[in-house]
Amino acid sequence: MAAVTLSSCNMDYNEYTAYDKEYIQRSFAYVGGLMTMIYNDIDTDWGNLSGAMLSSATDESEYSHDGNSVEDFYNGNWSAANPHQTIWTSAYEGITYCNEVIDNWSNLDFEQFKLNLDYEKQMYLYKNYVYEARWARAYFYFTLLRQYGGVPFKTTNTTGTEETALPCSSADDIFNFIAKECDAIKDSIIEDYSADKELILAKAETGRANKYAVLALKAQAAVYHASPLFTQGKSADEKKALWAAAVGACKELIDAAEAKGMGLADDIETLWATDYYSNTQSCKEIIFARRTASANTFEGYNFPVGYSSGQGGNCPTQDLVDAFECTDGKTIAESDLYDEANPYDNRDPRLTKTVVLNGDAWPNDLADYSADHPTVETYIGGYHSRTGNAAGKSYATPTGYYLKKFCNPNQILRARSGVAVTTSPHGWLTFRMGAMYLNYAEALFQYFKASGNGNAADASGSVTFNDAEGQPQTVAVPASQTAAKMASKTRTRSGMPAFAIGMNNDEFWAKYKNERRVELAFEGHRFYDVRRWMEDGDKFMNIHRMEITKNEDGTFTYNKVAVTRGDGQWQAKWNLFPFSQTEIMKSGNAIQQNPGW
């Protein structure tokens, strides 16, 4: 194991070097270093594909650098020989470290430190490592499931051909393992590190997984397990039972978290503010964020071309912009408030918090950096436009928009006289309450729909399901927790009207999918949502840009332009990733390739 320096805010450990078991046993910190390795293997997407996010493989954005490997996901250039297996590599590395901690380093007593004044505090934190490792191992398997379905499964490490020849366990078996693990550790793992900070060396270890992260993983995995991608071939009763289990898991999390005082932050922007890890409002909503070291790389990838070192990056599509409703809660096609000449007026406030629009004074340093162009100009011939832009940059936005969400507007990318380069913390939103309310809404809706209710979004009542051990459980869903009300929470937080009562199932499902698309934009959900639903994949293949023309009187004309990706046809096999041909060969064909690949 290599020397590792903790480069995030997850934990406060010094540099360590791990050599063997005897070396590890010499200090609490060395075991803590293994936990750092585990946390660092948890996925993020700050532009993993040379700056491109997975959002640019969907209809959320288009990457401004032509030829980037993100295009493989829609032009058909990914395969067993080009499998894009980043998650495979990091997840199995993480699983291996988790197994090591669980099997070999979870029952030490550090006899040599018993006389130290901080021994009890050190042991309090140390004894929690095994539960953190079990949570992380279950999480890594979830990330593999959502990409591959069934995968090779191990809960202890082996070597040589025994390790490489593991066959794939079924997705059902691994989903069940996740649920059982979460149930097994939820009452043992530390519930709240902030509350227990006096017992853990006076450090607010809020970057670690706690009880609510365990419940969130169980709920998220249950929703995926019940989704169409993973229920192919099952009977209607089996599908309904899985949605019932998802209702139970989601309700367990929501009720426990709300009892703890968690819920939605007042303003969604606080979730990616530079103090997201300590701000009272953001901490109220964030269940677990994968923290990364202070940097400005993400801003460098995504700030407008023509500003400092901005590279354009993941540019929101017109399709995403159109998904933001008007302030009356109607789509732009339905609302009388929509004005084609002023298309960004009277829109969902989340639009301007997610997307940089033509005319925005953003980032905050823009005016000082370029006094002649103090606002973003994405119109034809504008300074930050791909067509005729004065900066001569070829990577300016192709869509007419730049990305604002997750970017620090105060970031300085290039030093100049009197101005220094800046960096800031970033946290990938692995689990947050806004997403969990939407998960709960989906589970409720699908369960009551499967029960034959024509207005499933407004239904409530008793839901019976089998827990991870196969024991029947019943939860009472009150009228205050209908699918429509749960899905309305993120809307009303942003000043949008709640969903109307009385929508039929088709109406609600369309509204729900759109709300999820808007609220969770660029958080990594849409890439997998469309796949697990097994619908809307064609939308990834046919996107739209906005062509803006500046008129002589200073007004603008807006023209939507259709763009076809690849051959324009979504392929069903893309719902799951291909296994690497190398891994198949190493396994002696114990791993069987996913259908269609």
Q: What is the pLDDT of residue 20?
A: 55
d(CA 147, CA 150): 9
Strand partners, 428: 290
Q: What percent of the chain has pLDDT over 70?
A: 93
- Which tens digits make up the pLDDT trace of 152-205? 999 999 887 888 899 999 999 999 999 999 999 999 999 988 776 666 655 556
Closest CA to 468 of 237, 133, 182, 142: 182
Dihedral class, residue 18 (left if φ above 0, else alpha if ψ from -120 to 50, else beta): beta
Q: For residue 78, report the phi and psi dihedrals to the nearest 5 degrees.
A: -95, 150
Read off the DSSP letter of residue 532: H
Supply the pLDDT for residue 25. 53
Q: How far apart are CA 322 and CA 316, in angstroms?
A: 11
> pLDDT tens digits, residue range 35-71?
999 999 999 999 999 999 999 999 999 999 999 999 9
- pLDDT, tens only, 495-517: 999 999 999 999 999 999 999 99
* Beta bridge partners of residue 556, listed in sequence order: 550
394-403: average pLDDT: 95
371-377 long-range contacts, CB within 8 A, separation 24+: 373/306, 376/304, 376/402
Backbone angles phi, psi at 559, to 5 degrees: -130, 115
**pLDDT value of residue 30:** 76
The answer to whether residue 102 scores a pLDDT higher than 50 is yes
User: In this predicted model, what pLDDT tens digit does every residue of 401-439 receive, in sequence order?
Assistant: 999 999 999 999 999 999 999 999 999 999 999 999 999
Please tell me the pTM assigned to this model.
0.94
Q: Answer with the residue of higher pLDDT: 474 or 31.
A: 474
Q: Is 181 helix (H, G, I), strand (E, B) or coil?
A: helix
Three-class DSSP category at 21: helix
**Of 122, 103, 102, residue with least CA distance to 112:** 122
Residue 25 or 291, more confident: 291
pLDDT band at 21 (very low <50, low <70, confident <90, very high): low
Q: What is the CA radius of gyration of the chain?
A: 25
Spatial contact of 584 and 593, defined as CB atoms under 8 Å apart:
yes
Asked if pLDDT for residue 464 goes beyond 90, the answer is: yes
User: Residue 386 — pLDDT band, cuts 50, 70, 90?
Assistant: confident
In percent, the amount of the chain with pLDDT more than 90 equals 83
Mean pLDDT score, 458-464: 98
Please provide the average confidence, as pLDDT, over all residues in the chain: 92
Whether 14 has a pLDDT exceeding 80, the answer reads no
pLDDT tens for 253-289 read 999 999 999 999 999 999 999 999 999 999 999 999 9
pLDDT given for residue 420 in this prediction: 96
pLDDT for position 18: 42
Q: Kind and range of the H or E element at 134? A: helix 129-148
Instruction: Concatenate the DSSP letters of all residues of 204-242 into one string.
Output: --TTS--HHHHHHHHHHHHHHHHSGGG-TT--HHHHHHH
Strand partners, 561: 545
CB 324 within 8 A of CB 331: no
Q: What is the pLDDT of residue 32?
A: 82
Question: Residue 198's pLDDT is what?
Answer: 64
Separation of CA 81 from chain center: 27
Q: Between 17 and 105, name the one with better pLDDT.
A: 105
Residue 147 has pLDDT above 80, yes or no: yes
Confidence (pLDDT) at 11: 37
Whole-angstrom distance, CA of residue 248 vs CA of residue 476: 9
> What does the pLDDT read at residue 351?
98
Q: Is pLDDT of 19 > 90? A: no
Measured in residues, the chain has a length of: 597
- Terminal Cα-to-Cα distance of the chain (whole angstroms): 35
**Confidence tier at 119 by pLDDT (50, 70, 90):** confident
Helical spans, DSSP H, in 324-419:
350-354, 366-369
pLDDT of the residue at 371: 87
Region 223-235: mean pLDDT is 98
Beta carbons of 315 and 356 less than 8 angstroms apart: no
Ranking 15-24, 216-225, 444-453 by mean pLDDT, the lowest is: 15-24
Question: What b/e sequence results for 267-291 when a residue is b if at least 16 CB atoms lie within 10 Å of its CB, and e otherwise?
Answer: ebbbbbbbebbebebbbbbbbbbbb
Is the C-alpha dihedral spanning 497, 500, 501, 504 positive or negative? negative
Residue 321: Cβ-neighbour burial (10 angstroms; 0-12, 13-18, 19+): buried
The pair phi, psi for residue 311, each rounded to 5°, is: -110, 10
- What pLDDT digit, counting tens, does each position of 321-379 carry? 999 999 999 999 999 999 999 999 999 999 999 999 999 999 999 988 988 999 999 99
pLDDT at 3: 36
One DSSP character per residue, 58-110 reads: TTSEEESSTT-GGGHHHHS--BTTB---HHHHHHHHHHHHHHHHHHHSSS---
**Residue 470 confidence (pLDDT):** 93
Contact 401, 316 (CB under 8 A): yes
Q: Average pLDDT for residues 13-20, to the nearest whole number? A: 40
The phi, psi pair for 286, rounded to 5°, reads: -75, 120
Q: What is the model's pLDDT at position 393?
A: 63
- pLDDT for position 27: 67
Long-range contacts of 155-160 (CB under 8 A, 24+ apart): 155/99, 156/99, 156/103, 157/96, 157/99, 157/100, 157/103
Q: Residue 10's pLDDT is what? A: 38
- The first and second tokens of residue 252, run together, are 């367990």
The reported pLDDT for the residue numbered 254 is 98
